[in-house]
Structure 1
């Protein structure tokens, strides 16, 4: 670009007065043969000299930067030769500048008053670079723990898996989860929960090698990636090291928080998709939690099959209610003194479109782990009440018993659903009994007590199922508003041959009666158990010996035949249900 002579001074004034950008004007210094050997700073504003940390104006460039970065010299020579302009970004360290200055430069060729010049503008983009670096860090790291996030983990995992194609090696993926973290969060608050996650993350990180990757991928879940394991290593030793690295008790905000970690491991010697590697480790983690938590488990093909089965079960359950595939079967409960059916337990069955009729053992665990249990539980409640409402027409006022899942007890909608089911069906409240287990209420005893007291206020009965299975405590038993106890069936297994079992059953019966509760023996399979329970003072019994669970229509027929004055076989009144 050629600048008229009278514009040179205006350009110089503008450069010198520019308040932000570093601006310089340099002229070429040539030797006798016309070759450019240096550049002379004709003009330099204050910003340029502050960035440089030295005086520039009136000095030569190679002299100023002797022993430092002179990489711009050659491009500037080319600019003089070819004309035009040049743009680039740079990073440089100058005396007194900490950290290094990042800049964006613009250089152009100018010919004024017969002299060739290079005009340069330098804009400080240090803060912009710092902000970009922060955004990059935030995009790849978990803001709470500072560990890698899922995105960065997947990038490292995919690269590690790709390396398995090029070399013989073993890598491990470990899925770590803080046991009962939700309960800790709910009990102590999210501030304590967040601090706990930070402590767990730092503890796990400290147990790893520098080359290993650890990421928090959400909630209380951490994933560790380790390459180049010893040949034949399973990763279980590493899993145990990680579990041991987390303190059993963490002191947070003056509170002792008991901590446990479960770990699932998969080891790979051949490349697989990254999501499959994570899925295998997650499946092993699920197995560890199923085994009682605070465990480490190695992924196996059996787990894969179980995981696939669980996935298919979950998928089927998601649409089973909408498709009308659920049904209720009823199992009688009998009064030991009279032999009359006094109640029936409504038991869920799934008529699977391809597998036929499925019992709860095939799907109930999966269902109770999902949010779908709330909708299915509400359906069971409504169906059971509607069915029992018709039993008086058959001569029976039997109570219908409905099992509750832990999620239902914790649901704020349970009391409203019970009230609605009773109103819609017309069933008297005292003819509905809700069954709970000890383990379900222990996770939130105060909440469970409040909910069950609201249910009892409606007139509905509450039974404590599987009593004596391991959690029993008189302190909280007195707090639960239950109306009956159902003995754990394990006590009946050797009732006649075991003095201790008989003594325990008698103690439970006495305890129940002292508290004004009905005592029910379930799982009765033969006449000998029936006689023993009668002798021990049990009030009611239930089991295959007294009747198996049957469809609603078949149970109605049993009630009709057992009604006073009914003829079961055409020859006389039907006998009460006491066997078969």
Structure 2
């Protein structure tokens, strides 16, 4: 790169030794920068009123867009566009140097400098001389601004991202200490968004997110912060609200802003918005407020979607208990706090116990015996479902192997999780467990639900067929609860159908339920399957099932779940009890 050429007259260095040193330093350190040597112009009282450009180089002339050498600063620029005049004057009086930036984006900036940014270095070179260098760093600053934007904003929607939202929430919490008011965090989630992506493609999904972002912005106040946390999750920060009711009203406005169907690419895309709300009128941990809003959102979705739910004291107590349970869950396997209870099922005709279902329990050190409904969600969310599922399978088979080997010895049923049903590792696990425990394959039956299978039909069928090839049975639970039971049944390698308990609840009073059960029994028997009625709570239901040809029954009327020791006593011959 050629060195910039000087423009103007170089002062005699012998007369200005300090100038000479300044010029040498400048040219050594930054030889390609624009260079200006400026001489002060003083009035009769010795005050600096202007500077003349004694020497420039062609880079300075090019950046200015006009000739500078030999002209004064106020002649070349207006007073408003000469922000460094006062700075240079002070430098002559006090000495020292200047390292700064000049931003030419102001409303009065010269057109030649508009939108440009310069890095400026200057130093006094005697009582009346200033040596200044500058370079155009507009591209650098624009690149930095773009990186900053990308670091704090979502690329797809242009909204603040999680990082910027959390920064603003931290600041808002600090403001609550000085200015008490109601602050709300609204956690928003699109209903059925995954289905849109899966069926219409991610391009349509992206345009849907952009439309939703625009709709939500339009429903908010100017001071509110709308952020996208990723996927289909949007979060809103609202300050200076009058009450929790005001937060609820705002959430309802957001929900209404996203209609049940949005028009995208000449098609109506079915969608909706669920909102969870958390409020506080005093500083609180950011993580807690977000967690409460997320918990409220989950409750809104569970209640039927397209709803608003506000986190309240009742939910706060449940959340604290969930946290307590979750904290204790990690390490529960190692501490041997899990155990199994068993609920028998009986052959309706003979009354013989034909099988038992293994049911997980947790002996919590503080809460006592907990049922799965109190901790299974935490197991799923915490990534413990596979290790806990393996423990259940091994323990159930170990205990079943001790019940004896006679032909009448009942089989043991083990419930599988959704992740186990589609895991290719399940077959090897079952094979290993049977080998280690010595339990005959015919004495084990794995239980799955329609929902688990239909989520990934192809993978589930492949895994369950491999299980069947081992000689292990497969039971389909809650049969009749899904809309596609009959369509998929012939493809599933199952050995047992367990009727959805909803059919039994009004079996003795609604003729329609009996007709449905009769049809399922006939279908199951035609396919060579056993049919089980579960949820039997009285003698009338049991007799009705017997009359309809159901093979086996299970429920509190017959036996409650019991510890392994109680089951062994029930199974042992009368003489040995």
Match of 1:160 in 2: 172
Check conservation: 1:106, 1:122, Cα contact below 8 A: yes
- 1:61-92 C-alpha deviation (Å, 9 max, x unpaired): 11211354223222222333344433322212
Check conservation: 2:495, 2:529, Cα contact below 8 A: yes
Measured after TM superposition, the shift of residue 310 of structure 1 is 1.1
Check conservation: 1:283, 1:304, Cα contact below 8 A: no
- 1:11-53 C-alpha deviation (Å, 9 max, x unpaired): 9899999974211112223344544332221222122122222
- 1:142-189 C-alpha deviation (Å, 9 max, x unpaired): 334322122321232233334444446433210112345566666777
Match of 1:573 in 2: none
Q: How does 1:143-542 map to 2 (within 5 A)?
A: 143-167=155-179, 169-179=181-191, 196-229=208-241, 233-246=245-258, 248-249=260-261, 258-393=270-405, 396-542=408-554
Task: Find the aligned partners of 1:490 and 1:36 in 2 and give their Cα distance.
Answer: 95
Match of 1:551 in 2: 563
Check conservation: 1:16, 1:46, Cα contact below 8 A: no
- 1:500-530 C-alpha deviation (Å, 9 max, x unpaired): 2222221221222222221111122333322
Alpha-carbon RMSD: 3.3
Check conservation: 1:80, 1:118, Cα contact below 8 A: yes
Check conservation: 1:388, 1:427, Cα contact below 8 A: yes
Secondary structure, in 3 states, of the residue corresponding to 1:392? Answer: coil
Label 1:413 to 1:293 Cα distance change in 2 as closer, same or farther (>3 A).
farther
Measured after TM superposition, the shift of residue 249 of structure 1 is 4.7
Check conservation: 2:52, 2:70, Cα contact below 8 A: yes
Measured after TM superposition, the shift of residue 120 of structure 1 is 1.4
Check conservation: 2:416, 2:446, Cα contact below 8 A: yes
Match of 2:123 in 1: 108
Measured after TM superposition, the shift of residue 461 of structure 1 is 1.3
Task: Find the aligned partners of 1:43 and 1:13 in 2 and give their Cα distance.
Answer: 14
Establish whether residue 4 from structure 1 lines up as the match of residue 14 from structure 2. yes
Select between 74-83 and 317-326 the one with higher mean Cα deviation: 74-83
Measured after TM superposition, the shift of residue 357 of structure 1 is 2.3
Match of 2:56 in 1: 44
Secondary structure, in 3 states, of the residue corresponding to 2:409? Answer: coil
Match of 2:575 in 1: 567
Measured after TM superposition, the shift of residue 488 of structure 1 is 1.9
Secondary structure, in 3 states, of the residue corresponding to 2:575? Answer: coil
Task: Find the aligned partners of 2:296 and 2:525 in 1 and give their Cα distance.
Answer: 46
Task: Find the aligned partners of 1:497 and 1:271 in 2 and give their Cα distance.
Answer: 57
Label 1:247 to 1:21 Cα distance change in 2 as closer, same or farther (>3 A).
farther
Task: Find the aligned partners of 1:371 and 1:438 in 2 and give their Cα distance.
Answer: 22
Task: Find the aligned partners of 1:80 and 1:429 in 2 and give their Cα distance.
Answer: 96
Check conservation: 1:53, 1:95, Cα contact below 8 A: no
Check conservation: 1:486, 1:520, Cα contact below 8 A: yes
Label 1:354 to 1:116 Cα distance change in 2 as closer, same or farther (>3 A).
closer
Q: Which runs of 5+ in 2 are unaligned?
A: 1-10
TM-score by length of 2: 0.87
Task: Find the aligned partners of 1:190 and 1:367 in 2 and give their Cα distance.
Answer: 31
Label 1:16 to 1:417 Cα distance change in 2 as closer, same or farther (>3 A).
closer
Secondary structure, in 3 states, of the residue corresponding to 2:391? Answer: helix
Select between 489-498 and 402-411 the one with higher mean Cα deviation: 489-498
Match of 2:40 in 1: 28
Match of 2:3 in 1: none
Select between 455-464 and 65-74 the one with higher mean Cα deviation: 65-74
Task: Find the aligned partners of 1:274 and 1:464 in 2 and give their Cα distance.
Answer: 44
TM-score by length of 1: 0.87
How many residues matched?
Answer: 562
Task: Find the aligned partners of 1:193 and 1:321 in 2 and give their Cα distance.
Answer: 41
